[in-house]
Each structure stands twice: as structure tokens, then as C-alpha cells.
């Protein structure tokens, strides 16, 4: 739960440098052990040493390293005083903590733009939302999502979320600041000022993207019981930007990274777990684009430039993205019913259903 800190002179020294105490060495050893355990299990890359100016500055405080006094007038907010500090932090609360709950741990961080944040670890039980059904039926309300670049997200009912293209919007300003940075002397204060401006601009882009995705995913989770997406491998979609057509490949890579598909899927995962929804992940080899949602016949391969196509057997005209979203919804509901039918009575549906983890042959198109 990140909470904004108002900047105060000396906080970087007294705050991020004061995480010393009896348990400091034990916490460092525990973090190193966790990092190498994840590396040996193939989950992350090999841990590297932190480097001043390039790594995120952070400090962790356990319960004995800070003082928490809750404000009776505003439950969930209060005063936080860190170890070796005589005055409490001036905090701009993003949202209140659960009333009457004492934080177990605090993490104080400073990002590249020079902003300070404190994240409080608390125990909170989130009540699931009421089940969403279709009107006058017991059929769960479902939505299919097709992720793309022409439109960031396309729903099976035809609604589309436009791609903001934030990097393209701020490309000219970023290029100008990068040129200024190149012309400054290394190690000078002027170079550091320009670097801070670049960091603040990238932070603005990241915050705008994350806020847009957060509002969109929250609305989808609140309105639907089952959400269906495709199992995307974003890394394999990125192409090496060299050789023939390298500029086109570089622009495509930039658009894919700017879309924030990974962040969108991450938010859907944890929000479905919070609110009692089910996220169905269809196999990546399912032909959602080539399959006709009307007669279920399979069409030929299409270039990315083809946005509409006509089904030869039935003559239906399809929008490429809407048709793919409709096929994903149909396939996702088939997988959902298959899993639900195998559960004992009165057993809640799982929060995540992956087609790749289900036994049995994959469906084939007609």
C-alpha cells in the first residue's frame, strides 16, 4: 500500500540510511538468500550488487523499527516515526489503512524522479463481490478481451480501449532532453538536473499508463464474473531490431512495450483473486483471429494490416479484433464449464484457469 511522502531535507540520509539495528544483518542475509533461491529456481536473473544512482534506494523497517500512532479523527491514518528520527514523517496518504490495524512492516523507497514512498504491510481481508450473472439467468457474466496495438483492448461486445501511445506522445520532448543530457559534462550539476527531468517525465508516462489500466481492469472485474484473455508471450513477440526492416521492428517493439500488456494481465490476476472472479487464460495457439465466430470455420492466415475479413462459407464480415474477442469468450466459457463440472458441489470456482494446464486434447477448428 504505497503512501506518498512529502519531501523533507535530509530524509535521504536519516530515512533511507537509518535502517540499522539489531536485525539489519539478519534481514540482509534473508534478502540475499531469497534472491539466490529464486535465481537457482530459474525465476529471476542472477542477483547483482546495488549501485548508487542506478538502483532503487530502499529501506525496510520491521515492527521494532518504527512507531505508529493512529489518528482517532481519521481511522487508518496517523503518525509514523522511523528509527533514529525525532519527528514523524509528513505523509500524503493515498488511502487509509484498515482501521485499528497496526502495520507489520514498512518499506521506504525513493524512485528515480526523487519521490519518496512508504509501503505499509498490513493484514486485510477483502470481501468478494457479489456474483455477476446474466439477467434472469444463472449463467455467469463473461467478457472476452483481445489485446492489440490498433486498440489496446477490444471486448467481445465491440467496445474498445484506445491505445494512448504515451511514448509517441512525449517522444519529441524526450528526444530534446536526451540531447541536452548528451551535451552536459559528466558529473556536473547541470547534467544531474537534466537527468532528473528525464526521470520525472518517464515517471509521468508510467503513472498515466498504470492509472488508466487500473481504472479499466477494476471496471471489468466489477462488472463480470469470468474474464477471458489469451496466453501471450510478450518476450517472443519482440523482434531483434537489426537487419532488414530494423526500423519497422524497432517501432513495433516500442508499441508493444508502451501498451503495458504485462501490467494489465498482472492487475487482472490479483483483482480476480481479491474479488472472487475467474480469469480464464486460453492457449496461445488457439486460432482466435482466423476462426469465424458465426459458423466456426477456419479462415486463412492474415497479415496484421488486415483489420476486416469476410468468411467464405457463411459470408459474415468480421472486425478482426472483435471476432477474436468473441472467439476467446466462447472458448473461455467452454473451459470454465469443463472445470466447474469436475468440482465437488458448493465448491467455489478457481480464480485462474489455464488451458495449458488442463489435461486433454486442445480443440480444433472445423
Q: Which are the catalytic amino acids?
A: 146, 230, 321
- Lookup: cell for 161: 480501449
Strands 226-230, 278-282: pairing is parallel
Phi, psi of 224, rounded to the nearest 5 degrees: -130, 150
Q: Spell 260-275 as b/e; 16+ CB within 10 A means b.
A: bbeebbebbbebbbeb
Dist. CA 116–CA 60, nearest whole Å: 13
Dist. CA 282–CA 183, nearest whole Å: 50
Distances from the Cα of 158 to the Cαs of 100, 153, 162, 214, 326, in angstroms?
Answer: 45, 10, 12, 21, 9
Amino acid at each position: 500500500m504505497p503512501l506518498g511522502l512529502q519531501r523533507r531535507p535530509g530524509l535521504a540520509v536519516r530515512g533511507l540510511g537509518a535502517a540499522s539495528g539489531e536485525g539489519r544483518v539478519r534481514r540482509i542475509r534473508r534478502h540475499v538468500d531469497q534472491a539466490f533461491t529464486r535465481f537457482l529456481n530459474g525465476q529471476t536473473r542472477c542477483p547483482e550488487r546495488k549501485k548508487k544512482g542506478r538502483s532503487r534506494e530502499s529501506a525496510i523497517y520491521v515492527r521494532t523499527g518504527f512507531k505508529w500512532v493512529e489518528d482517532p479523527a481519521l481511522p487508518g491514518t496517523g503518525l509514523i516515526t522511523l528509527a533514529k528520527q525525532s519527528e514523524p514523517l509528513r505523509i500524503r496518504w493515498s488511502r487509509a489503512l484498515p482501521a485499528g490495524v497496526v502495520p507489520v512492516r514498512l518499506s521506504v523507497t525513493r524512485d528515480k524522479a526523487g519521490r519518496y514512498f512508504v509501503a505499509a504491510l498490513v493484514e486485510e481481508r477483502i470481501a468478494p463481490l457479489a456474483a455477476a450473472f446474466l439477467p434472469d439467468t444463472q449463467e455467469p457474466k463473461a467478457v472476452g478481451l483481445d489485446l492489440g496495438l490498433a486498440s489496446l483492448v477490444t471486448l467481445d461486445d465491440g467496445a474498445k480501449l484506445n491505445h494512448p501511445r504515451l511514448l509517441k506522445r512525449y517522444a519529441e520532448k524526450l528526444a530534446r532532453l536526451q540531447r541536452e543530457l548528451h551535451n552536459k559534462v559528466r558529473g556536473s550539476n547541470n547534467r544531474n538536473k537534466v537527468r532528473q527531468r528525464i526521470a520525472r517525465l518517464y515517471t509521468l508516462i508510467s503513472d498515466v499508463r498504470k492509472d488508466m489500466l487500473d481504472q479499466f481492469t477494476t471496471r471489468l472485474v466489477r462488472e463480470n464474473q469470468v474474464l477471458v484473455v489469451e496466453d501471450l508471450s510478450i518476450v517472443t513477440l519482440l523482434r531483434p531490431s537489426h537487419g532488414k526492416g530494423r526500423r519497422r521492428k524497432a517501432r513495433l517493439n516500442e508499441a508493444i512495450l508502451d501498451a503495458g500488456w504485462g501490467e494489465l494481465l498482472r492487475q487482472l490476476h490479483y483483482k480476480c483473486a481479491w474479488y472472487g472472479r475467474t480469469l480464464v487464460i486460453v492457449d496461445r495457439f488457439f486460432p482466435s483471429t482466423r476462426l469465424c465466430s458465426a459458423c466456426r470455420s477456419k479462415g486463412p492466415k492474415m497479415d496484421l494490416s488486415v483489420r476486416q475479413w469476410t468468411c467464405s462459407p457463411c459470408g459474415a464480415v468480421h472486425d478482426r479484433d472483435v471476432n477474436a474477442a468473441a472467439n476467446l469468450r466462447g472458448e473461455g466459457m467452454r473451459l470454465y464449464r469443463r472445470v466447474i463440472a469436475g468440482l465437488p458441489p458448493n465448491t467455489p470456482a478457481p480464480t485462474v484457469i489455464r488451458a495449458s494446464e488442463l489435461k486433454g486434447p486442445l480443440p480444433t477448428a472445423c
